[in-house]
Structure 1
Amino acid sequence: MRRITRIATVGVASAALALGATACGGKSSSDAGSDKDNPKAAIAYDIGGRGDQSFNDAAYAGLEKAKADLGVQTSEAEPSEGEGDPDKVQRLTQLARAGNNPVIGVGFAYAPAIAEVAPKFPKTTFGLIDDTSKTGKNIANLVFNEEQGSYLAGVAAAKVTKTKTVGFIGGVETPLIKKFEAGFAQGVKDTNKDVNVKVQYLTQPPDFGGFSKPDLGKAAAEGQLDAGADVIYSAAGLAGSGAIEATSKAKKWSIGVDSDQYNQQGLAAYRDYILTSVTKDIPDSVFNLIKSVKDGKPQSGEIRYGLDKDGVGLADSNPAYTKMTDVTAAVAKAKADIIAGKITVKTAP
């Protein structure tokens, strides 16, 4: 029978118990790994955890697909409280020692922990989403051209704005989130140089609360709305839901991120004003990695998902968006030009 195990936190006590099991005859680090007849896979969530209607939920969708289609037993681990989520190493160690293969860290913040844990479990594949800084024979770097999808969002925003002011809200000012900003701003300006782009980040590293606090996103959106913005694009994880709420209540357009947020149940009350979303095919990246391990041909190294393979894109779930034929035509042309190499999208503002 298939099952899902959720691990709220992995602290020192849990790690000690795991080490004790190894000393008493359990699997050692070097021979840990899934039973081929009883495959198991796990994901460790980023800040905000499952239920963020965005990044983490996209990874969960891939895990659920693997459970349904491949018969894989699945485990999930939530982030712990505390600045920087300090228990990542223990969490990944426990998941690997339990026989999960692959073990997937959702987000670039897992890079140092995976670099530390992966060499101790050479027969286990570790997936690292959104980061290429840490590599290894058993590490698969699942990365995306976020700037390309964000460029399309910028085209759409520039076409629909009536005030010629649009907003970008980033959760935390990191190089990854600045890729979203760069692509969006370039798409806006290439479409209409007279449109003003207001940019705001919710927190600065090492404070990553900008990915998990909807109130921060809501306040930032309210400020941008007061300054005249009538389209706001948020790349802020769970905090982005607050921006979507504020923008919707003002009857202005929001643009979602990572998941197709028009279809997220937790945002259903605001969906009429979610124009579109910049999607990342995180579900398939998770599923494909799990399947590769199950098939005995585990992925490793950089696996990149770009616009050319629909690894990033712009959602068209909102009927109001699909009826804007001038907007969708402009987006389609921009997509074709990016794929053809006629447009090179910047990765930094």
Structure 2
Amino acid sequence: MKKLISIVLVAAMALSMVACGGASSSAPASTGASSEAASTAASGEATSGKEITVGMITDVGGVNDRSFNQTSWEGLQALAEENPNIKVSYLESKTDADYSANIETYLSEGTDLIICVGYMLAEATKVAAEANPDQLFAIIDDSSIDLPNVACLMFSQAEASYLVGIVAGLATETNTVGYVQGMVSDSMNQFGCGFIAGVKSVNPEATVLQFNANNFGDPTGGNTAATDMITKGADVVFHAAGATGNGVIEACKANGVYAIGVDTDQAPLAPETVITSAMKRVDIAAQDISLAVANGTFTPGVHLYSLENGGVDLSPTRDLLTDEMLTAVEDAKAKIIAGEVQVPSTPEELGDGLFTLK
């Protein structure tokens, strides 16, 4: 716990932007900087001095998605600034077909650790890991790969979404809020289920409009979806949609309603619009697993980041939150950590047909 808290404090200072495809012909394996990577200070743990290389592969949202991918990359960059023995780089995936090609690029270069960002890379990661048992992999947001050379970095995203749902339920003046999801899957559905449960916990009469964008890289589609929700009365819209969510925030800003960000603190995108964000510390997870490889302590299997260990939370920018909202959120956090509140993470657990996305 002490170790992860120290990671959170330092990594939060390092981040200044927000993130959720093989590389183009002009983008070599070291695209985006082969900066040297980070966080002895952040983790409170000295590295062994062993020189390693870490290669990160984005999903189709790209490294500048201001959400999931970007946050992961910024975590590695922050790590590199503190640990000259760790070299980091990234490859962008423009389409699904690029996942395997990008993995092959890093395999051919002898990269020590390959970090695949997002469950959409799961199949390509599993195939490559099975074929290359001596190669270490990490995948963010997928726990389906049970291999001795794969670490699955998972987050209790339903818990963070529950907290922002409380904010939305208390903030709405129309009793209508919106939710835009990037794609329907077991992992992504956790966001929606947690959010709806949080809204209903403080405002049982509220309506939650829902839309599946089926795309993590379509800001225009996100804008259209949010605008439609706003015309139907939504005055708070939460997105869990990577770069698609940037369009959601733009629509909320243009219409003078609140937006809720995801993965990182998205308030800098629209300070008067983004009331809060459901944070997932993917930056810390990327740092942790990289340091483990450098120190020879890599362990496969699921590594879970939750409210209890600081891996998910409300974003630190809270200027637009009322005292009532903050009190309700802190009360809910304490009850979740104590086991008094069980946050639903599936449509079945949520019940009553409240989750409507297909």
**Short-chain TM bin:** 0.7 to 0.9
2:143 to 123, 129, 132: 132
Larger Rg: 1
Q: Distance in 2 between matches of 1:261 and 1:43?
A: 22
Deviations 1:109-157 (A, max 9, x none): 1111111111333332100110111121010000001100000011111
Q: Is the 8 A contact 2:22 2:98 kept in 1?
A: no
Matched, 1:76 2:90: yes
The answer for the alignment partner of 1:21 in structure 2 is none
Q: Distance in 1 between matches of 2:83 and 2:291?
A: 7
2:119 to 105, 108, 128: 108
Q: Distance in 2 between matches of 1:289 and 1:142?
A: 9
The answer for the alignment partner of 1:330 in structure 2 is 328
Q: Is the 8 A contact 1:262 1:318 kept in 2?
A: no
Aligned alpha-carbon RMSD (Å): 1.7
Q: Distance in 2 between matches of 1:340 and 1:129?
A: 26
CA gap 1:300/1:222 in 2 versus in 1, 3 angstroms: same
Q: Distance in 2 between matches of 1:183 and 1:120?
A: 37
User: 1:14-53 maps to which residues of 2 (within 5 A)?
Assistant: 37-53=50-66
Q: Distance in 2 between matches of 1:86 and 1:320?
A: 42
Q: Distance in 2 between matches of 1:214 and 1:185?
A: 23
Q: Give the secondary-structure state (helix, strand or coil) at the position aligned to 1:309.
A: coil
The answer for the alignment partner of 1:174 in structure 2 is 185
Q: Is the 8 A contact 1:101 1:125 kept in 2?
A: yes
Q: Using the TM superposition, give the Cα deviation of residue 233 of structure 1 relative to its aligned residue in structure 2, in angstroms.
A: 0.2
Taking structure 2 as the reference length, what is the TM-score of the superposition? 0.82
CA gap 1:7/1:170 in 2 versus in 1, 3 angstroms: closer
Q: Is the 8 A contact 1:7 1:76 kept in 2?
A: no
1:254 to 253, 259, 265: 259
Q: 2:324 corresponds to which letter in structure 1?
A: D
Q: Is the 8 A contact 2:50 2:294 kept in 1?
A: no
Q: Give the secondary-structure state (helix, strand or coil) at the position aligned to 1:200.
A: strand
The structure whose residues are more often helix, as a share, is 1
User: 1:207-286 maps to which residues of 2 (within 5 A)?
Assistant: 210-263=215-268, 267=269, 270-286=270-286
The answer for the alignment partner of 1:188 in structure 2 is 199
Q: Give the secondary-structure state (helix, strand or coil) at the position aligned to 1:234.
A: strand
Q: Using the TM superposition, give the Cα deviation of residue 47 of structure 1 relative to its aligned residue in structure 2, in angstroms.
A: 1.4
Number of aligned residues = 304
Q: Using the TM superposition, give the Cα deviation of residue 67 of structure 1 relative to its aligned residue in structure 2, in angstroms.
A: 1.1
Select between 85-94 and 236-245 the one with higher mean Cα deviation: 85-94
Q: 2:234 corresponds to which letter in structure 1?
A: A
Taking structure 1 as the reference length, what is the TM-score of the superposition? 0.84
Q: Distance in 2 between matches of 1:170 and 1:119?
A: 31
Q: Distance in 2 between matches of 1:117 and 1:73?
A: 22
Give identity over the alignment, percent.
32
Matched, 1:300 2:300: yes
Matched, 1:54 2:60: no
4+ residue segments displaced more than 2 Å: 119-124
Q: 2:244 corresponds to which letter in structure 1?
A: A
